[in-house]
Structure 1
């Protein structure tokens, strides 16, 4: 044990100042509890500091995930996150869809689903951590939908009749199709008041009366598949009055055959007529050989052409007569 001599303490051959020696002696727990006497150059040892550790604040995370993805189209969602203490943040995810990628540094979930990913991907949760505490978004789901089929517009065609006689029926139905197989509906603008229209078939039909005589213009029929449409060119329908025009055809009956022999088996006549001298497509059959004239009625306004043939009882028909004409105004 050391001894005090002239304010110098000797310990194991070393010399220390009195203040230092007092600390050492106290630590050694030597008998008598020796310490420096006040007034002999001693000083108090300052207490050790013992403040509270800093408080950590949990990070925050927010954002509304996109819940719909489409096959072949890019998907992306990135939450917003912050930390009041300025700590570095890292992100994690559970329930990540197989078709998506995830960034641990930004929290971004992204990817492009394929046709095999159609369906609902559930229980996805994104979390953020500052290394001590964490925060999470509510779990969410992503529904992957099939890519929409590219729509092609429908097609429509047809040539509407341009006229109809009062008292006679009118009917026109266009042809329409859709390459996507969509259900088609029809509409019409400037429909004549005397006509009806079928929105399922596009048929325009009706029977005008004499009070409907006139022209009905700018009629347009349109077909739609619900997304696109097509229309016929605008057209007109003229309702004309039934004409009372007549033409009386007269002739001299034949008396001999082409070989000069007497004609003894005359059976009747056929009057061929029409609005073109080269297309006498209408026929009146007169099975009375004694007639020498015939009135044709209800001729519409036009120039009409007429020709006559005689026929025998065995069906032999003569050559056509000369062609006569009459204009009905």
Structure 2
């Protein structure tokens, strides 16, 4: 009887180690085990969605920064991401923002710390170059609306441009119904740009884009 009691006590106080957690069996109640758990804090996971590593931007570009930080204990802590550049220093805090960078090869680091002081970080490289290229765009002003009626309220034009033919993400506004040209400046050298023009009436309504043209800067 004594031997069985000692064996039972040994089983109830057996120390088990599983992964990083330690389970201590302290007793039984109605056949169910009660366990206390102790484990280490996991560092948060952090990802940089934008900018992509090794992109090139010019010195006047507003670069979009976006990241995400998820922590097992704290949940979504993207609001506390700290962004910095090895050239420009501290950039901003938070999930996303836009900012220009000075010329140079920037190592961009996004770092985050959870409530238990566990940290993690990710980095990307961004090349910022001088923007001294330019392009002249010419067009013929329209004289009719899409329904073939005379166009009498033409106010100006918008010249859209960008490095992706599927996404012309910049534009310059040009006033004057008789204007037929625009100089687009601060373009990155050794890159291809795409251009298209929209007419704008006095109410600010834009026409469809013109045929697209391309130029290597």
Instruction: Provide TM-score, normalisation by structure 2.
Output: 0.57
Change (3 A) 1:249 1:206: closer
Name the structure where strand makes up a greater proportion of residues: 2
| Other-structure match for 1:290 | 178
Change (3 A) 1:245 1:195: same
| Other-structure match for 1:246 | 134
Change (3 A) 1:174 1:149: same
Give the superposition deviation at 1:207.
7.0
- RCO (CA 8 Å, sep 6+): is it higher in 1 or 2? 2
Give the superposition deviation at 1:259.
5.4
Give the superposition deviation at 1:214.
1.9
| Other-structure match for 1:209 | 102
Aligned residues: 178
> In the aligned structure 2, how far is the partner of 1:220 from the partner of 1:249?
39
2:195 equivalent among 306, 309, 317: 306
Give the superposition deviation at 1:249.
0.9
2:89 equivalent among 176, 195, 198: 195
1:272 equivalent among 141, 146, 160: 160
Change (3 A) 1:191 1:309: closer
* Cα deviation 1:29-55 (Å, max 9, x = unaligned): xxxxxxxxxxxxxxxxxxxxxxxxxxx
| Other-structure match for 1:322 | 211
> In the aligned structure 2, how far is the partner of 1:288 from the partner of 1:312?
10
> In the aligned structure 2, how far is the partner of 1:252 from the partner of 1:195?
47
Change (3 A) 1:202 1:178: farther
| Other-structure match for 2:72 | 178
> In the aligned structure 2, how far is the partner of 1:322 from the partner of 1:180?
51
> In the aligned structure 1, how far is the partner of 2:95 from the partner of 2:210?
47
In structure 1, stretches of 5+ residues that fail to align are: 1-71, 76-111, 115-145
> In the aligned structure 2, how far is the partner of 1:197 from the partner of 1:260?
52
Rg comparison, structure with higher value: 1
Give the superposition deviation at 1:220.
7.8
Instruction: Provide TM-score, normalisation by structure 1.
Output: 0.41
* Cα deviation 1:114-155 (Å, max 9, x = unaligned): 6xxxxxxxxxxxxxxxxxxxxxxxxxxxxxxx9552335133
